């Protein structure tokens, strides 16, 4: 929505009250439900708290899954972790992620998704199903840092070599711009080169600033 013809006072009100976000959420819910009575649906929807919809992306070792689990616990939403199905192939990952989101939507819950999407094709899959995150956080950390974390946390029985980890990092780095472009209006880059507590605090403040309730 353009604010070019509005007075300065109106624009200040528009921004202070987060009107654009409210309208975007209303349209998202309307498209998801496609009710027979849209006006009644919107009136009812606007009275309810808005479920959280957040995506975490980042290279291996950036702390996505740990952070997602903590956010899900803090905000009472579902943690959808794409990593368990990632080894089975792209189609399985997409199906599992979409099923998780569908289940959360049916139960009226929000969600935090980590490890997906990784490519433009993945974002198209989500968009085709009407999945629209409120915020996408990219956790940024240098390769040296992520390698050190993975090596430190790697179990004795792990079969993944350092070279395999490097390849995963490079693959992410090569495709990250595709995801950033798809979600440019709600994309935020966050340094993950810090403690887990500091990262949690930073992301939580950003989520709280959206004022979903």
pTM score, two decimals? 0.81
Q: Which pLDDT tens digit goes with each residue over 86-120?
A: 555 556 688 999 999 999 988 989 999 999 999 99
Q: Which of 54, 55, 58, 56 is nearest to 171 (CA)?
A: 58
Answer yes or no: is pLDDT of 2 > 70. no
For residue 121, the Cα-to-chain-centroid distance in whole angstroms is 16
Q: What was the pLDDT predicted at 99? A: 95
Q: What is the pLDDT of residues 20-33, one digit of tens each?
A: 777 877 787 788 78
73 closest CA partner among 110, 117, 25: 110
Mean of pLDDT values over 191-204: 95
Report the CATH number of the 1-48 domain.
1.20.890
| 49-208, CATH topology level | Rossmann fold (3.40.50)
d(Cα 91, Cα 94) in Å, to the nearest integer?
A: 5
Q: Tell me how far the alpha carbon of residue 185 is from its chain's centroid.
A: 13
Extents of the domains making up the chain: 1-48, 49-208
Q: Is the peptide bond before 194 cis (omega within 30 degrees of 0)?
A: no
Q: Is 71 in a helix, a strand, or coil?
A: helix
């Amino acid at each position: 929505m353009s604010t070019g013809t509005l007075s300065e006072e109106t624009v200040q009100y528009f921004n202070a009250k987060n009107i654009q976000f409210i309208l975007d959420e209303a349209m998202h819910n309307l498209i998801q439900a496609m009710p027979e009575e849209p006006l009644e649906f919107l009136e009812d929807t606007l009275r309810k708290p808005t479920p959280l919809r957040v995506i975490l992306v980042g290279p291996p070792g950036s702390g996505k899954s740990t952070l997602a689990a903590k956010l899900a616990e803090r905000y009472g939403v579902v943690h959808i972790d794409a990593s368990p199905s990632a080894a089975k192939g792209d189609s399985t990952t997409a199906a599992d992620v979409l099923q998780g989101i569908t289940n959360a939507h049916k139960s009226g819950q929000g969600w935090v998704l980590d490890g997906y999407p990784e490519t433009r094709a993945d974002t198209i899959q989500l968009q085709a199903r009407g999945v629209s995150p409120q915020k996408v956080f990219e956790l940024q950390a240098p390769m040296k840092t992520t390698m050190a974390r993975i090596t430190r946390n790697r179990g004795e029985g792990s079969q993944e070599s350092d070279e395999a980890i490097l390849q995963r990092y490079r693959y992410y780095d090569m495709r990250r711009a595709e995801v950033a472009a798809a979600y440019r209006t709600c994309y935020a880059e966050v340094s993950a080169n810090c403690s887990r507590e500091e990262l949690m605090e930073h992301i939580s403040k950003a989520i709280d600033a959206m004022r979903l309730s």
